[in-house]
Amino acid sequence: MELQAVKQRFGIVGNAPRLNNALETAIKVAPTDMNVLIVGESGVGKESFSKIIHHLSHRKHGPFIAVNCGAIPEGTIDSELFGHEKGAFTGATDKRKGYFETVNGGTIFLDEVGELPLGTQARLLRILETGEFIKVGSSSVQKTDVRVVAATNRDLLERAAQGKFREDLYYRLATVPIRVPRLSERKEDIYLLFRRFAHAFAESHHTSLITMSPEAQHLLEQYAWPGNVRQLKNISEQICVLEQGPLISEEVLSRYLPATESTLPMLLGKQEDFSSGMSERDIFYKVLVELRKDVNDLKRVVFGLLEGSRPETVSASPIAVPATPPPAVPVPPLRSEPTVIRPMEPVDEEHEFVEAEEADTTESLSLEDKELEMIKKALMKNKGRRKKAAQDLGISERTLYRKIKEYGLE
């Protein structure tokens, strides 16, 4: 059957290349009994493809049923699909046929097949392999001749890697995969679909037909459409009901298009560190990783200080101080007595270099004391320039700034 004839028969609107490729694949596979997996986002029209496959097959005179696997509770889905015997479970007051028994000779469309429980997946795999199934509460094996067309908006291989979907079932279902494109991938079809929905609504409700200005049409085509064709249909009907028309401007249309930008709180600091596509959780993890690196850097400096024979071995050069000693910096009380830095007489009059006095035997070995001492020395050496001091300490400037605030050295 030709592509245009299929579009007219099943009400398919659009000429986008990706849409045509998906339709051509469905037309070619329809006369066979091969299992088909239709992949696409919610609202792209996956069920329409399942109907095309059924009505163009030799099973077109047999029954067709669409089952939303995500809408059936886990405790009853086996009974819905395969049936049950009387007394099989509480509330089973009578014998019941399942979908696979009632659709014998026809086609069953399993929408959102990725939501099936693992136990139900095993039962489905047996039907695909042998055509056999067992009712809930029964011990007898029954046969059925059903073609399975499945659909999902998830990555089933990814769910298989997570242990939530059987990989062998995926390859049984995806004998022929068909990917239905998103509406944002069919920009040339968006206005055609809007006109189709507006015309159908005007006929059914006896209202005037509305059109769009070129600016509104451009806005319509550039919108992201996260809800795909379903969202476009809903917005089209809203405009037909609430606006008098007949011409819809860009300003009027913009009131009906929900904002698609991220609503996450604004981040302070360097924005280039975070890509716009990152989620709030990803950004939080990134910040934690950076903080962990800063802490590790500081630990290496402190432990290197404790392992060395002299504190001055951490720095590549002696510590310089001005001729006139700076005023004392107030330090908040710590758990132990902070080490007092006593500058010695300059050993080099030209550069006015001095060295810190070697600690005596009563010097405190607290990590906080050593850390505070090294930060003071680095700041004194670099005359308060934090960037240079951070480089000498081997830590980031942000970590040094945080430590300065922590020890009250501001």
138 and 218 co-located in one domain: no
pLDDT band for position 1 (50/70/90)? Answer: low
Of 362, 309, 372, residue with least CA distance to 338: 372
End residue of a domain, out of 166, 181, 196: 181
Q: 248 and 394 share a domain?
A: no
Q: Are residues 373 and 402 in the same domain?
A: yes
Same domain, yes or no, for 177 and 189? no
Q: Report pLDDT for 327.
A: 52
Residue 158 lies in a domain: yes
We report the CATH number of the domain holding residue 126 as 3.40.50.300
The residues that bridge with 152 in the sheet, in sequence order, are 39
pLDDT digits (tens, 9 = 90+) for 200-239: 988 888 888 889 999 999 999 999 999 999 999 999 999 9
- R_g over Cα of the chain: 36
Residue partners of 147: CB distance under 8 A and separation at least 6 = 33, 35, 54, 57, 59, 106, 107, 108
318 lies in some domain: yes
**What are the structure tokens assigned to 252, written together?**
């009027």
pLDDT band at 139 (very low <50, low <70, confident <90, very high): confident
262 inside domain: no
- pLDDT value for 126: 95
Whether 174 and 308 share a structural domain:
no
Q: Tell me the pLDDT tens digit for each residue of 36-93.
A: 999 999 999 999 999 999 999 999 999 999 999 999 988 889 999 999 988 888 878 8
188 shares a domain with 167: no
Longest dimension (CA), the chain: 105
Give residue 280's pLDDT. Answer: 56
Question: What predicted TM-score, i.e. pTM, was given to this entire model?
Answer: 0.61
The CB density around residue 302, as the number of other CB atoms within 10 Å, is 17
Q: Are residues 325 and 380 in the same domain?
A: yes
Range among 107-116, 315-324, 332-341 rated most confident: 107-116
CATH number of the CATH domain containing 213: 1.10.8.60
Rounded to an integer, the average pLDDT of 240-267 is 75
Q: How far apart are the C-alpha atoms of 346 and 353, rounded to whole Å?
A: 5
Range of the domain at 216: 184-254
Report CA 73 to chain centroid distance, whole Å: 25
The yes-or-no verdict on residue 385 having pLDDT over 90 is no
Which of residues 141, 163, 181 is at a domain's end? Answer: 181
**How many structural domains are present in the chain?**
3
pLDDT, greater one: 246 or 333: 246
Question: Do 55 and 120 belong together in one domain?
Answer: yes
| Distance (Å, whole) CA 233 – CA 190 | 10
User: What pLDDT, on a 0 to 100 scale, did the predictor assign at position 277?
Assistant: 44
How big is the chain, counted in residues?
410
pLDDT tens readout for residues 273-307: 434 445 555 666 566 667 777 777 777 777 777 66
- DSSP state for residue 348 in the 8-state scheme: B
Q: How far apart are CA 229 and CA 231, in angstroms?
A: 5
Residues 155 and 196 in one domain: no
Same domain, 211 and 287: no
- pLDDT bin (cut points 50, 70, 90) of residue 270 is very low
Instruction: Identify whether 260 is part of a domain.
Output: no
Which range is least confidently modeled, 37-41, 130-134, 359-363?
A: 359-363
Report pLDDT digits (tens) over 184-201: 999 999 999 999 999 998
Same domain (yes/no): 165, 193: no
Same domain assignment for residues 198 and 311: no
- Given CA atoms 276, 279, 280, 282 in this order, what sign does their dihedral have? negative
Domain boundary among 155, 181, 207: 181
Can you read off the two tokens belonging to residue 12? 């398919």
Domain membership flag for residue 320: yes
More confident residue, 1 or 397: 397
276 is written with which tokens? 């716009």
What pLDDT does 287 receive? 67
Rounded Cα distance between 54 and 398, Å, is: 64
